[in-house]
Structure 1
Amino acid sequence: MEMSERLRGQGEEAALQEAIRTADRELTRHPVFGDSKRISALVLERYKFGLELFAERLPAVAALLPRLTEGGDARARRLYRDPLVRKVMEAAFKKLEQGALAAPQTELEELLALAAEALERTDVDGPCEARMSRRFRVGPRQDIWVWNFAHAEDPILRELREGFDRVYSSRGTRPGRIIQPEEEQVARLDRACSLLTRVLPEVGPSALGHISSICLLEVEVEGGKMMSASGGDGIPSTVFMSPEQLRNPWDAAGHLLHEGLHLKLFDVVRAHTLVAPHSGPLEIPWRNIPWSMVRAVFAFHVYAHIELYRAAADLADPVLLREFGEPGSYTDNRHAMSVSRNNRSVPYGLSVERTRFLGKHLRTTWAPWLTPEGLHLTRWLQQCMAPFVDWDA
């Protein structure tokens, strides 16, 4: 039995609430893995430096440099929140490392020209948001924009879709259908963001801060319909979510937490290496296909935080329950990440079982494939989550 269950059973909810507040705080304080302001600042400096390096080699980028850099960090943050700007920058970094960055670089140069135009506006952050037919924003700072393309053949949309297909084609994904959002769906997204930040006042905003855009998408993946996904390197800083998941605000908030944490760790690994090269495939008992070591680390990072979200949701105050309903009142399909309905009838149908499995193997069998920083991450997460997960069970 987890300590959180023992405390609840003994009526010591005050102690459990304090444990939740402590973990919520500690998970956002670590200078490498938790502090989103520091993580984002390192990413920003990396892109700013990269742009200067690209300008030294590409005359077209050099010509755009004054328009892209004037306005300091405030303008830079707008520029580098754009998914496609980040995508083409990462591709240019790879070419630079390979000694292959030479003019012309058409995709990079054309997109940065569009970015310079978008930055002249005050109502959008970058070239992708500038192409939206309607402007929808959600989140505590209203800085997460929702995909809403007027034309199915828009070149920006085509590039974004191709990025998604490249990321998920290896997982048996079929072509998906991008949903043009309705106002009610956008309002539900915003409510889910609000719920997340009220349940976890530190971790919630931290995870959401790494999301720049959300796409509503219907797509088949391994095991059925996709509930949510992060764009990863294919479409950086972007979350995909099935509209069906918006019916339950508690699970919608959990999906945003889940994918925002993935994007946060993607930002971490821009500057830090967690997994040793040439690690082998891993057998995961609740999956039909092997995982990479990287995927296991990313999954554990999320599952550990989800246990905190679950504990906090279980003790939600009456105001939240009146506003959003009881988590258990929703009749959605059972899944391990749900705070409403877990599938207890199957092995590893509970998220805590998956959390323990990953945590155990990351500190034992799989530990040789972690770098010192990777080991530090997993041990830090286990320490933070000790009140909620019995690691020796």
Structure 2
Amino acid sequence: MQKEQPQVLDIVEGALANSRPFGDCDYIHQCTWRHEERRLELLEGHLPSSRALLSALRGAGTARRYRVLGDPVVRAAIHDAIGHHRLHVSHPHPEDLEQILRDAAALAADERRDAPLAAGAARDVRLGQAPHHGFLWCGGADDDRPFSRRFAALFREKLPWLRPAAPDARDRHTLLQGARLLDVLLPALARSALAHAQLVVVAGPDGDAPAQARGFRSATVAGLLGTVVLGPVTLKTPWSAAEHLLHESMHLKFIDLELTHSLLRNGYRMERSPVVSPPWHRRDPSGLRDWTVNRMLTVLHVYVALALFFRAVERRAGELEAEFGPLGDLDPGLQARRSFDRAHFLVHALRRHEGELGAAGRRFCAWLDCTLAAFDPSPPPAGSEVHLLLDLYAREAAALRDRLARSAEPPAAARLVEEIATTELATARGVLAAIEGAPPLRDAPAPAATLAERLWEVRARISASLRRVPREAYARRSAGSAKTPAELVRAMLDSSSDAVSALFRELGPT
């Protein structure tokens, strides 16, 4: 790392946390409050409680306004009331909206420290004692407080395949440690990001969850504003908890920006948006994994922040592991590089679709691009995607290894594994042969004892060999070749898709 890197990281953190209009959380909150108050004004002729809430908010201090107007149930009630009374969208229980706003008015007039969702709770657990630290959801089936009931209904509506659960003592400890680690690593960005996360919910997939939800890690949902949802798998270490708290809080920050700034052109509609297929995800013929322009913007926002996070971890892990535990299998250097590379890809993709952005969106994208350039020591060549494809390749190899290790290894699986390995080894040799001066494929180690080890060894060897090639070399087509080496790598991953799918079917359900 360059000698001046620590100072550069401090400057980048200051930009992401404090610059206006896209970094300063206090400024963004002020914009959000004005937005919600204007919506309440639109309801004054329909809901008496909207006048009461407006009056209470205008007499409340900043801390109280922050808690009440940031509460996911209050914000959802304002949204639904606008839909019902102004846009004539039917609501099953409009009387509930009146009651929520009335209760919110009473809570806004009461200068207390808790959020509406936490008021009257048997257990009040926060991520920390600073104003930007949100609350942990500790409600259960027997929690009959009006705000809790409404939040549980919203959660079922927005995330029907997840079930929230009160975090146990270990999970609470890991979450609090994760928040404190984030405060230590990146104090300015931690405050600026976590200030948008009023509530943290621990949840896992229920018995009817789709297969792709079984490994749920984390989520934010536009209909649950101010809410971070974390899967138990993210709470193995404070390092993982800190990463996912930052990740999802940056998404929440973007949602508030999107509501209050012209990030997208007038008339933009997600269903008609141009899309890209991120190279680090396997292509889905249904298009379910394609990203719209607004999705690209929010993910770019997150990856720039994560690049900074992993650089900070890389810099300070040695001094902090004694307090927060070992990094485990986290490789901060690799994760920082992945975040940088994915962010660069999204910047280039957004430039191709700049017409879909509003004035603020173009400025937002340029700001993140400049921020990225300020601390990426080795940006990839324009149009380079092989490094992103290899991320997918390695991640899929790990998933296959873990799945094979849990299986009884039916006879057909051995044949499929051998077919995949043989085909990919031949393709990798062809890719390397098409690149002048590329090193040959690394020698094979001793034969693997299990199917899981066999496929993992082959893919790890191929990935390591391909990563040794300079990234710019993948764009150069050799004489007589119809495809660039990059296109050959893409073809290798695409052609293995059917075989990998067949292997998973042979292994059966988990």
SS of 1:57's equivalent in the other structure is: coil
- Where does residue 262 of structure 1 map in the other structure? 251
Pair 1:61–1:40, CA change in 2 (3 A): closer
- Where does residue 134 of structure 1 map in the other structure? 123
SS of 1:177's equivalent in the other structure is: strand
Quote how far apart the aligned CAs of 1:274 are.
1.7
Q: Which moved more, 1:34-43 or 1:109-118?
A: 109-118
Contact 1:300 / 1:355 at 8 angstroms: preserved in 2? yes
- Where does residue 283 of structure 1 map in the other structure? 277
CA distance in 1, matches of 2:341, 2:372: 14
Pair 1:110–1:188, CA change in 2 (3 A): same
Contact 2:140 / 2:165 at 8 angstroms: preserved in 1? no
* Residue pairs, 1:37-186, within 5 angstroms: 37-62=26-51, 66-67=55-56, 69-95=58-84, 98=87, 105-119=94-108, 120=110, 122=112, 124-126=114-116, 128-130=117-119, 132-139=121-128, 141=130, 143-151=133-141, 154=144, 156-157=147-148, 159-168=150-159, 175-186=161-172
- Where does residue 350 of structure 1 map in the other structure? 338
Aligned counterpart in structure 2 of residue 191 of structure 1, from 177, 184, 187: 177
CA distance in 2, matches of 1:224, 1:351: 24
CA-to-partner distance for each residue in 1:336-391, whole Å, 9 max, x for gaps?
Answer: xx74886x9xxxx933332222122112x222322232121111111111122615
Quote how far apart the aligned CAs of 1:76 are.
2.2
Pair 1:98–1:244, CA change in 2 (3 A): same
Matched, 1:374 2:364: no
Contact 2:72 / 2:226 at 8 angstroms: preserved in 1? yes
- Please, what TM-score do these two structures have when normalized by structure 2? 0.64
CA distance in 1, matches of 2:333, 2:163: 27
Aligned counterpart in structure 2 of residue 240 of structure 1, from 199, 204, 229: 229
CA distance in 2, matches of 1:175, 1:101: 25
Contact 1:55 / 1:65 at 8 angstroms: preserved in 2? no
Contact 1:92 / 1:101 at 8 angstroms: preserved in 2? no
CA distance in 1, matches of 2:246, 2:365: 18
Quote how far apart the aligned CAs of 1:97 are.
5.7
- Where does residue 450 of structure 2 map in the other structure? none
Paired amino acid for 2:137:
W
- Where does residue 455 of structure 2 map in the other structure? none
Contact 1:69 / 1:75 at 8 angstroms: preserved in 2? no
Question: Aligned-residue CA RMSD in angstroms?
Answer: 3.0
SS of 1:385's equivalent in the other structure is: helix
Paired amino acid for 2:371:
C
Pair 1:378–1:113, CA change in 2 (3 A): same
SS of 2:234's equivalent in the other structure is: helix
Q: Which moved more, 1:111-120 or 1:286-295?
A: 111-120
CA distance in 2, matches of 1:293, 1:267: 17
Quote how far apart the aligned CAs of 1:195 are.
0.7
SS of 1:148's equivalent in the other structure is: coil
Pair 1:164–1:60, CA change in 2 (3 A): closer
Contact 1:212 / 1:237 at 8 angstroms: preserved in 2? yes
- Please, what TM-score do these two structures have when normalized by structure 1? 0.81
Paired amino acid for 1:22:
I
Aligned residues: 361
SS of 1:299's equivalent in the other structure is: helix
CA distance in 1, matches of 2:94, 2:334: 49
* Residue pairs, 1:211-230, within 5 angstroms: 211-219=197-205, 222=212, 224-230=214-220
Contact 1:217 / 1:240 at 8 angstroms: preserved in 2? yes
Contact 2:49 / 2:101 at 8 angstroms: preserved in 1? no
Structure 2, unpaired ranges of 5+: 383-510
Pair 1:64–1:279, CA change in 2 (3 A): closer
Quote how far apart the aligned CAs of 1:117 are.
4.4
CA-to-partner distance for each residue in 1:163-220, whole Å, 9 max, x for gaps?
Answer: 345445xxxxx62221212233222111111111211122121101111010000125
- Where does residue 19 of structure 1 map in the other structure? 8
Q: Which moved more, 1:218-227 or 1:352-361?
A: 218-227
Pair 1:140–1:310, CA change in 2 (3 A): farther
Contact 2:311 / 2:332 at 8 angstroms: preserved in 1? no
Quote how far apart the aligned CAs of 1:67 are.
4.9
Pair 1:100–1:57, CA change in 2 (3 A): farther
Matched, 1:392 2:381: yes
Identity %: 27
Bigger helix share: 2
CA distance in 1, matches of 2:68, 2:94: 19
Contact 2:52 / 2:105 at 8 angstroms: preserved in 1? no
- Where does residue 298 of structure 2 map in the other structure? 298
Paired amino acid for 1:320:
L
Larger Rg: 2
SS of 1:53's equivalent in the other structure is: helix
CA distance in 2, matches of 1:341, 1:158: 43
CA distance in 2, matches of 1:324, 1:114: 40
